[in-house]
């Protein structure tokens, strides 16, 4: 094997080892975010579900108003704001 081919093979082996080390480091970094990202996914799924069934939100507000009238106004404003933010994020 010529010196040039040997240098290329050594460089290739070094790059492969470097890539493996980078993949391992990335995997360790991603593991830390797995839980928070799963929670965010569940939140997005909940917002999509609410978007598909807005009547349930209205029913919940009506039920809340019947059970606790004072808090109903605050909850209604919060839900309305959350609804609007969800729609904007969904691009509607």
DSSP state of 92: -
Cα 63 from Cα 72, distance rounded (Å): 9
Stated pTM of the model: 0.43
| Domain residue spans of the chain | 1-46, 53-92
Residue 8 above 90 pLDDT? Answer: yes
* Angle of helix 3-52 versus helix 69-90 axis, rounded to 10: 140
CA-to-CA separations, 36 to 25, 28, 31, 54, 86, in angstroms, rounded? 19, 15, 10, 26, 19
Q: pLDDT per residue over 14-60, tens digit each?
A: 999 999 999 999 988 888 888 888 999 998 998 888 888 888 878 87
Cα 75 from Cα 69, distance rounded (Å): 10
* DSSP of 50-69: HHH-HHHHHHHHHHHHHH-H
């Amino acid at each position: 094997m010529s010196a040039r081919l040997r240098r290329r093979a050594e460089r290739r082996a070094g790059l492969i080892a470097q890539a493996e080390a980078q993949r391992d480091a990335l995997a360790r970094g991603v593991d830390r975010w797995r839980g928070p990202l799963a929670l965010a996914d569940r939140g997005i799924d909940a917002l999509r579900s609410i978007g598909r069934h807005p009547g349930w939100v209205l029913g919940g507000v009506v039920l809340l108003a019947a059970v606790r009238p004072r808090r109903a106004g605050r909850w209604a404003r919060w839900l309305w704001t959350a609804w609007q933010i969800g729609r904007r994020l969904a691009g509607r």
